[in-house]
A and B are shown apart, each in its own frame.
Chain A
């Protein structure tokens, strides 16, 4: 691989990293797991003046559950660590379902959830998961910290709202107010393939009824699709077949896929419909079993 010429820095402190990005005046790039950025450098789609490698910044590689059940995931927590996290497996079914189908085991050992959300690939998986969970990203810059909901963070294909000296240091999943349920399904042509179409669903239940719902879709639009209306259709339901069908219809409607060598737009919409139905049917079965 022969990328264009760039400088490389490996700061040991967050402020130093921000300062380096500040100096680069928008020409710098944060290097996290490198699983998206390195390929871009190789193809010379990205030619930053400096790579600010954050892998040596201390204290960013955590996956924490707060006492209220909120998750905080540091910028250097790898997909593989999330995959092996007991807390995620026990408490966060949407993320637990998604992580084994993000990339392949090799990529998962380097790539980060925060990096994936920052990268904002319309076919990426994590932004969909985080939107479905009402998650947010904490950015750190010269003016200090700010928190941005992921649904507002991703603004388009490979675009996010960070200003150039800012670094995303953490992703958070808010504390649930009810019983958590969720799922993730993705159609891929092969392990390690990006989504032809995929759906992430995060739900909370109170007294058997949906009290919070999030549905987000990947691979079926110019950016991750936040299927708000579809999620809304589930509110206060107990996932009866009408509500499920309505949500699936609205999710399919919210998607705007393109026909390409992976399939026609109609097919991808149909997959969204099928996956939303399947995830919800699975949750409904689990609920019945629990009741």
Chain B
């Protein structure tokens, strides 16, 4: 008998990608080793010699003219080193600073206070107790002005002009902006059989990272260098901004973002506290630490949402959507400080209806000033996509009901089909890929949709209120192609720098900044996938602008789509060089060198090969003539498009008709985020996102009373759900790789927060739909649900809070 020779005879066994922690490995998070041991290094853990402490005095009033500030009693307290007011800052041209949306924001108030909690003065002292004592000793005389807590009040005739500091600002309107085809939309509406209309308010929410914001500014007069440890999701943007605002040379500014206790969009903006701490360090020539307290964080820093919708869907009788109209009215607080790409005034709100095949759409958006905190940050979403998807799925539910078509069927009729990609959305985006129906069908099967509808009908006969809610989402993630996306002119690419050391261990630095997403784990897996180096041999560093390549930071689920792609590209550059070295070591020409994970070998002689580690050693010890030593590469990645994940969420609830209390019975989530680098981390992101969605739907919001007082500036009123009441999530997956991302991944960090809320609201509204209820504003607190079910009306949650 003849035996065919084993072609791999003599070659080492192939590398098992999962074993080395490559793509698809559910590796435990390496960063947890230090977090779980209490060895994280947050900015508040950093103590510098001679460090002073700063505390901020905040306005107790929503809107008032500052008549006088008397700090003499504070100066008299021993240990007080410096007191700064708006006036003192103004003399250095720092009274106001630019926002990320081309507006200005008071650093410390000079003329008026414009929201409760606004920064009025700062004390720098030997310790934080003294600073706090001194802050309470400052006397400020205020002349009250009328507060404005919603857009209706803002545009009412005779409303006081909040931004009287701005030349030519004669009303409280921030912008009027529109997108879409108005004529086409109107024409389509004229031919519609059914027009469905829905009005609602997405309440103000707050990202509320468990670590509040803060900074340590350390200006060294001798070297002229400013080092600032600061809670930032985007340290390079901070460096650029400080260079512009504080007029320090950029090479003399080092921003270090150490371990962050969450960000959720809250740590993208530049806050007055950072600026004042930096100035204080320059003036005192001592390091100055500012730690924001919980109330400071909730009352003054970047909030999310606060948008009113008036939406209309035009349909044919058979349920086919012909056109969509969305009018949004957004409340931006006292300063337009949204952190978002410059071109778009209301973020990516126009990503709405991206997963539906709709020929025409028009959106008119107005933003207004109110006497509330500024912000409008992308709270765990890609710039207002949370509102876009919430509005979309609430409008879709109302439209299906108005057309008398089953909720699931209505979506099937209108979804973009699998073979229709890339697809131009009605507002002009280009979606990349998806299997929308497959995701929905899987979710319906898992929840037993038909079975539940029967159960619901039975239960209604006994006076029990069961409801089912469907929500689907897609989201433009990975801003994001430099033609369209920039912040203050800086294009939104990202970067990675990979250095492979002599022994085959590697260091990877990126322009992103992890805040709990697990970059240190997943990034190493991308390199492992590309080079076959074990993930544990790769250390990941981010957040120090002196060492990391320039990047736009982490928010809007952009890191895997952009920085993740840059990592793959940097690894491929390293591999290209390693191939040259391998050819040299194997004494063949480069064309004859083949690659398998972790190893180069000579074509048709698999046994003759060198490992990636061997090429690394040679890069420093035995490089070929004419080749530079070393094995490293930098990649700046400008994505060709955004990545578009998809999700289908289905939730069932039961409402207690006597109290309005509702409970989640089941929640099924099907997520398609393309290729999953680390399934464990992906699932963690989805569970966290769903928990935040549940929070928004059930309990979490910031509101205001008629006097402009903020309700929700502490944990007694700003409610974060705990493990005790959070429902269990049933997770499933579909994989549609992104066609343009180097490893087929899409963003996922935010999908569940974006798509989740509508599932809960749709379920509760569905339980009450037979009573004529079309909307209950979030959070669906029991009293609101009770009001809806007893009065058979919609319930608005818009501020001011109703009092006796």
Check B716 against A263 for contact (C-beta < 8 Å).
no
A190: B residues at CB distance < 8 A: 699, 719, 721-722, 725
A262 touches B722 (CB 8 A): no
Residues of B within 8 Å of A194, CB to CB, are 716
For A185-198 the 0/1 string (1 means CB < 8 A from B) is 00101111110100
Task: From A156-164, A175-183, A199-207, A253-261, give the one contacting chain B.
Answer: A253-261
**Interface membership of B308, Cβ < 8 A:** no
**Could you tell me if B722 and A260 are in contact, using CB atoms closer than 8 angstroms?**
no
B658 at interface, CB cutoff 8 A: yes
Count the B residues whose beta carbon is within 8 Å of the partner chain — how many?
A: 31
- Cα–Cα distance between A258 and B803 once the two chains are bound (Å): 7
Contacts of B659 in A (CB 8 A): 187, 271, 274
Q: Which A residues are CB-close (under 8 A) to B392?
A: none
**A263 B722 Cβ-Cβ under 8 A:** no
Which of B695-716 touch A at CB < 8 Å? 698-699, 703, 711, 716
Assess whether A187 is in contact with B782, with CB atoms less than 8 Å apart: yes
**Does A104 touch B at the CB level, under 8 Å?**
yes
Name which residue of chain B comes closest to A193, CB basis. Answer: B719
Proximity bits, B776-795, A CB within 8 Å = 1, else 0: 00000111001100000000
Chain B residues with CB below 8 A from A265, complex form: 804
Tell me, rounded to whole Å, the shortest Cβ–Cβ distance linking B203 to chain A. Answer: 11
Chain B residues within an 8 Å CB radius of A259: 802-804
Binds A, one of B23-31, B125-133, B205-213, B265-273: B125-133
Chain A 221-277 residues near chain B, CB threshold 8 A:
258-265, 267, 270-271, 274
Q: Which residues of A contact B250 (CB under 8 A)?
A: none
A191 contacts B722, CB within 8 Å?
yes
Given contacts A189-B699, A262-B781, contact A267 B725 (CB under 8 A): no
CB pair B722–A274 under 8 Å, yes or no, is no
Q: For A185, give the chain B residue with the smallest CB separation.
A: B659
Find chain A residues with CB under 8 A from B717 CB.
Answer: 261
B401 to nearest A CB, angstroms?
27
Taking a contact as CB atoms under 8 Å apart, the answer to whether B782 and A104 are in contact is no
**Beta-carbon nearest neighbor of B695 in chain A:** A190
Say yes or no for A289: interface residue by CB 8 A criterion. Answer: no
Q: Are A261 and B703 in contact (CB under 8 A)?
A: yes
A contact residues around B661 at 8 Å (CB): 187
Does the CB pair A261–B716 fall under 8 Å? no
Q: Mark A117-144, 1 if CB is under 8 A from B, else 0.
A: 0000000000000000000000000000
Decide if A263 touches B781 in the complex (CB within 8 Å).
yes
Q: How far apart are A154's CB and chain B's nearest CB, in angstroms?
A: 21
Task: Tell me the smallest distance from the CB of A28 to a CB of chain B, in Å.
Answer: 20
Picked from A191, A261, A263, the residue with its CB within 8 Å of the CB of B711 is: A261
Q: Is the CB of A263 within 8 A of B724?
A: no
Provide the residues of chain B in CB contact with A189, threshold 8 Å.
698-699, 719, 781-782
The interface bits of chain B over 93-112 (1 if a CB of A lies within 8 angstroms of the residue's CB, else 0) are 00000000000000000000
Q: B801 on the interface (CB 8 Å rule)?
A: yes
CB distance from A217 to the nearest CB of B (A): 15
Q: Which B residue sits closest to A265, measured CB to CB?
A: B804
Complex: chain B residue closest to A192, CB-CB:
B722
Contact (Cβ within 8 A) A262 B725: no
Least Cβ–Cβ distance between B131 and chain A, in angstroms: 8
Within 8 A of A (CB), among B710-748: 711, 716-717, 719, 721-722, 724-725
User: Chain A's nearest CB lies how many Å from the CB of B803?
Assistant: 5
Known interface pairs A259-B803, A274-B658; A191-B725 also in contact (CB < 8 Å): yes
Interface membership of A7, Cβ < 8 A = no
Instruction: Give complex CA distance A220, B490 in Å.
Output: 55
CB neighbours of B724 from chain A (8 A): 104, 191-192
A265 and B698 alpha carbons, distance in the complex (Å):
20
Q: Mark A35-59, 1 if CB is under 8 A from B, else 0.
A: 0000000001000000000000000
Q: Per DSSP, are chain B's interface residues mostly helix, strand or loop, or mixed?
A: loop
* B605 in contact (CB, < 8 A): no
Contact A260 B801 (CB under 8 A): yes
A90 interface residue, CB < 8 Å from B? no
State whether B132 touches A260 (Cβ < 8 A). Answer: no
By beta carbon, the residue of chain A nearest B719 is A190
Contact of A264 among B55, B698, B722, B802 (CB under 8 A): B802
Which chain A positions have C-beta within 8 A of B699?
A: 189-190
B503 at the interface (CB under 8 A from A): no
Q: A187-B659, A190-B725, A274-B658 are in contact. Are A264 and B129 (CB under 8 A)?
A: no
Instruction: Report B18-58 CB contacts with A as 1/0, cut-off 8 Å.
Output: 00000000000000000000000000000000000001000
Measured CB to CB, the nearest residue on chain A to B295 is A43
A4 at the interface (CB under 8 A from B): yes
Once bound together, how far apart are the Cα atoms of A271 and B790, in whole Å?
A: 14
Interface residue B68 (Cβ < 8 Å from any Cβ of A):
no
- Is B604 among interface residues, defined by CB-CB distance under 8 A? no
Central interface residue in B55, B698, B783, by most chain A CB within 10 Å: B783
Q: Give the complex CA separation of A271 and B660 in angstroms.
A: 10
* Nearest CB on A from B90, distance (A): 29
A264 touches B716 (CB 8 A): no
**Proximity string of chain B (618-659) to chain A, C-beta cutoff 8 Å, 1 when within and 0 when not:** 000000000000000000000000000000000000000011
Cβ B783 vs Cβ A264 within 8 A: yes
Q: Take A190-B719, A190-B725, A263-B783 as given contacts and tell me if A258 and B804 are in contact as well, using a CB distance cutoff of 8 Å.
A: yes
Q: Is the CB of B782 within 8 A of A263?
A: yes
State the CA gap A44–B136 with chains docked (Å): 10
Closest Cβ–Cβ distance, residue A269 to chain B (whole Å):
12
Question: Which residues 751-804 of B have a CB within 8 angstroms of A?
Answer: 781-783, 786-787, 801-804
Given the complex of chains A and B, what is the CA–CA distance between A212 and B698 in angstroms? Answer: 39
The distance in angstroms between the C-alpha atoms of A196 and B661, with both chains bound, is 12
**B132 cross-chain contacts in A, Cβ below 8 A:** 2, 44
B-contact bits for A1-24, CB 8 A (1 contact / 0 none)? 110110000000000000000000
Contact call A5/B129, Cβ cutoff below 8 A: yes
- List B contacts of A196 (CB < 8 A): 782-783
Residue of B nearest to A189 (CB): B699
Q: Decide: B719 and A2 in contact? CB cutoff 8 A.
A: no
Which A residues touch B721, using CB under 8 A?
A: 190
Residues of B within 8 A of A267 (CB): 783, 786-787
Task: Give the chain A neighbours of B803 by CB distance below 8 A.
Answer: 258-260
C-alpha spacing A192/B720, complex, angstroms: 10
Task: Give the CA-CA distance A192 to B129 in the complex, in Å.
Answer: 29
Nearest-neighbor residue (CB-CB) of B701 within chain A: A261
Q: Are A2 and B128 in contact (CB under 8 A)?
A: yes
Closest to A5 in B: B129
How many angstroms from the CA of A264 to the CA of B787 in the assembled complex? 10
Once A194-B716, A258-B804, A274-B658 are accepted as A-B contacts, the answer to whether A104 and B722 lie under 8 Å apart by CB is: yes
Q: Distance in Å from the Cβ of B153 to the closest Cβ of chain A?
A: 18
A191 vs B716: C-alpha distance in the bound complex, in angstroms?
11
Tell whether, in the assembled complex, residue A2 and residue B781 are in contact, meaning their CB atoms are under 8 Å apart.
Answer: no
| A255 vs chain B, min Cβ distance (A) | 14
A264-B85 Cα distance, complex, nearest whole Å: 41
Chain B residues with Cβ below 8 Å from A261 are: 703, 711, 717, 801
CB<8 Å pairs between A and B, sample of 30:
A2-B129, A44-B136, A104-B724, A189-B699, A190-B721, A190-B722, A190-B725, A191-B724, A191-B725, A192-B724, A194-B716, A258-B804, A259-B803, A259-B804, A260-B801, A260-B803, A261-B711, A261-B717, A261-B801, A262-B781, A262-B783, A263-B782, A264-B783, A264-B787, A264-B802, A265-B804, A267-B787, A270-B786, A274-B658, A274-B659
Residues of chain A touching chain B, judged by Cβ–Cβ distance below 8 Å, are: 1-2, 4-5, 44, 104, 187, 189-194, 196, 258-265, 267, 270-271, 274
Q: B interface vs A, CB < 8 Å?
A: 55, 128-129, 131-133, 136, 293, 658-659, 661, 698-699, 703, 711, 716-717, 719, 721-722, 724-725, 781-783, 786-787, 801-804
Besides A1-B293, A4-B133, A189-B698, 14 other A-B contacts (C-beta < 8 A): A44-B132, A189-B719, A190-B725, A191-B722, A192-B724, A196-B782, A258-B804, A260-B801, A261-B703, A261-B711, A262-B781, A263-B783, A264-B787, A270-B786
Considering the complex of A and B, which 7 residue pairs feature the smallest CB-CB distances, nearest first?
Answer: A263-B783, A191-B724, A2-B132, A267-B783, A261-B801, A259-B804, A190-B719
